[in-house]
Amino acid sequence: MPSAKSVWEVEPGEVRKPGTVHIAIMALLIGVGAVAGTFGSLSVPLGYGVTGFWPGVAVQAVGSIWFGMWGVLAGFLFPFISNSLAGAPLYVSFAYLPSNLLQGIIPAWAFKFFKADPRLTKGSDYLHYIIWGVVVNNLAGAAWAVTALQWFGLITVESVPLFFSGWTIGNGVPSLIFGIILLKALSPLVVRHRSFVKGWWA
Amino acid sequence: MPKMRRSLLGYLPEESPIFSLHPVTKVLFLLVVSAYPMLTQLPEANLAGSLFMLALFKAAKVDLSVIKGYKMAFVNLFFVIAIAYTFFGGYRPEYTVLLRLGPIRVCWENLRWAILVYLQLVLAILVIIFFLSTMRERDVVVGLRTLRLPFVVCYLAGLSLRSIGLSIIDFFTIREAEKARALDLAELPFSEKVKKFGLYIVPLVGLAIRRAEEVSNALDSRAFRFSGLFKGGKRTDYIPKKYKIRGADVALIAIMFAFLAAIVFVNYQYGWLRAENSLLYRVRFG
């Protein structure tokens, strides 16, 4: 059983480079994320693809922690498909791209920087996930999203708190519940899998 | 019963004229025509655009029940916009108050803006529904390949779209397994249903990881290697060779770009498509 610190450490003689498995995992994550995201966008819709409950964010946060930039890119792209299927205009999906990037890249960076274990073996691992994968990433994503919606003239300044809180809570709750379940259930398998990314690309 | 072909959002009869178009025309349709409502505030223009899109649905022989499937999305969007603009639209002394609901003033200026935004979004949504109803996974790949995007990007797009279908199949398999264990989804309260659906992510991600191994092995056994976006060796594109760009494609692409250029020109040069030119701005109360 490797120690928590060793999860991110490259072993002596270990060669890591991007391969076909990363392309495959990215494409398949886009598929899973699109299904989860579409379901969320249709279940408790608040308009413009913003929803009161979006399980897709768990795929973004956890996929980025496990698969580095491949997970970040998957989380960046799948909302495009899920928003479109749920009836959001293309330019609104474009406007959300930075939000979706932030929601994946922040927890991925934090887990690597603080050497947190994705298997959540210690209390500090949970804390890092909650801070960076539930709170900070979703606040950053929501801040960008409402700015973009307002910039496009789709919402008024007065309705910013409504959409901001809708985005933050709608993403935060599923991120907390499903993210922790995903990390606990699948991280022991993923960290041993060849698709697991210790750096950013491999 | 006409022969049907699967699209990303349903089925399309084989005799649909849309099949005579090259996929790149359809990809460009999404990218170019989606920009029209973004650049046009004038509600009359967006309404005309929506009617044109409905005619296009009819001409392409798209089953209009596809739009009915989005009925709730349209209704929901209307309410969200109406609430956001009437209750959270702000107030200025020069506004015309139509109704007072306690401390809330429903003003014509806010309602007018809500109508403008709604009509803009309706057109944008119709464009995306049309695209999804007329495109197949293969069309997306061929369209992107024709635009000279790197092979890895096109392969990724194809595999991603395919994996949506696979995830949906997995999703139904999991549901059937639960039903077989006597779970009655219809009896669950809404909150429980939402929680339950969310939890399906765990097996879906697990299956995706397992499937990634199989896909990767299949790619490796065909001597595919990830060597970056632009460095890969030249490969024969078999499927794109089966499609030809015809005169109709060239004409349609030219019309789409010309129309986009015209919108940009008249908007920035003369401001004809601005909201202030709408008939709604001539409506006066009292």
Q: Where are the extended beta strands (E) located within B180-266?
A: none
Q: What was the pLDDT predicted at A57?
A: 94
Number of domains in chain B: 2
Structure tokens at B259: 């129309």
B123 found inside a domain: yes
Cα nearest neighbour of B122 on chain A: A89
Q: Is the pLDDT of residue A77 over 90?
A: yes
* Residue B18 domain-assigned (yes or no): no
Same-domain check for residues B115 and B46 = yes
Is residue B29 domain-shared with residue B129, that is, in the same domain?
Answer: yes
Statement to judge: residues B51 and B155 lie in one domain: no
Does residue B249 belong to any structural domain of this protein? no
The three-state (H, E, C) secondary structure of A86-125, written as one string: CCCCHHHHHHHHHHHHHHHHHHHHHHHHCCCCCCCCCHHH
Residues of chain A numbered 58-117 and touching chain B (CB < 8 Å):
58-59, 62-63, 77-78, 81, 84-92
Domain hosting residue B159, numbered range: 151-231
Percent pLDDT > 70 in chain A is 93
Q: Find the residue in A nearest to B224 (Cα).
A: A20
- Percentage of chain B exceeding pLDDT 70: 97
Same domain? B174 vs B79: no
Q: Which of A90, A92, A149, A183 should be substituted to probe chain B, the one whose Cβ sees the most B Cβ atoms within 10 Å? A: A90
Q: Do B201 and A86 touch (CB under 8 A)?
A: no
Q: B242 CA to chain A: closest CA distance, Å?
A: 25
C-alpha R_g of chain B? 24
Q: Which of B255, B249, B250, B241 is nearest to B20 (CA)?
A: B249
Closest residue to B163, CB basis, from A28, A158, A181: A28
Cβ-defined contact of A87 to B73 (cutoff 8 Å): yes
Q: Has residue B13 been placed in a domain?
A: no
Q: What is the distance between the alpha carbons of residues A65 and A67, in angstroms, rounded to a whole number?
A: 6
Contacts of A181 in chain B (CB under 8 A): 199, 202
Residues B37 and B130 in one domain: yes
Q: Which residues of chain B have pLDDT under 70?
A: 229-233, 286
- Which domains occur in chain A, in start order? 18-190 (1.10.1760.20)
Residue A137 is predicted with a pLDDT of 97
Q: Are residues B117 and B55 in the same domain?
A: yes
Judgement on whether residues B40 and B125 belong to the same structural domain of the protein? yes
Instruction: Name every chain A residue with its beta carbon within 8 A of the beta carbon of B195.
Output: 177
Determine whether the interchain pair A21/B73 forms a contact, defined as Cβ–Cβ distance below 8 Å. no
pTM of the model: 0.84
Burial of A55 (0-12, 13-18, 19+ CB in 10 A): buried
Q: Is the pLDDT of residue A3 over 60?
A: no
Distance from CA of A105 to the nearest CA of B (A): 19
Residue A2 has pLDDT above 60, yes or no: no
Residues B93 and B163 in one domain: no
| Residue A29 contacts B where some CB pair is shorter than 8 Å | yes
Residue B60: burial class (beta carbons within 10 Å; 0-12, 13-18, 19+): middle
Instruction: Name the residue among B84, B168, B212 with its Cβ closest to that of A156.
Output: B84
The Cα–Cα gap between A165 and A171 comes to: 10
pLDDT tens-digit profile of B248-271? 999 999 999 999 999 999 988 999
B242 within domain boundaries: no
Residue B250 in any domain: the answer is no
Residue B228 phi, psi (nearest 5):
95, 180
Residues B48 and B116 in one domain: yes
Structure tokens at A186: 């699948």
pLDDT of amino acid B283: 86
Residues B213 and B279 in one domain: no
Q: Do B120 and B156 have their domain in common?
A: no
The verdict on B124 and B160 lying in the same domain is: no
